[in-house]
Amino acid sequence: MYLARIHVRFKPGVLDPQGTAIKGALNQLGFKGVKDVRAGKLIEITLEAEDREAADRAVREMCEKLLANPVIEDFTFEIAEENL
């Protein structure tokens, strides 16, 4: 069993309204040192696969087909073996 931790972020240059809103709110709460805020998605998938390479291929395909919009989003992921 494998656990994939996927990060989906907006591509550089794409407007990030949520990040901008969080930054404004943090400033209003008195957090003065905040220079930049980027908001994205965290997706954690527990999956069965023959081996590590098969899990890697499957997760990459899941990201390309469903989890990340290739026009405006980038994705990265890490895979760890789970002893469930």
Residues that bind a second copy (CB under 8 A): 1, 7-9, 19, 22, 25-26, 29, 31, 33-49, 58, 61-62, 65-67
What residue type is 9 in one-letter code? R
What is the three-class DSSP state of 65?
Answer: helix
Asked if residues 4 and 45 have their Cβ atoms less than 8 Å apart, the reply is yes
Taking the least distance from each CB to a second copy, the nearer of 50 and 71 is 50
CB of 46 to a second copy, least distance (A): 4
CB of 71 to a second copy, least distance (A): 18
What is the three-class DSSP state of 67?
Answer: helix
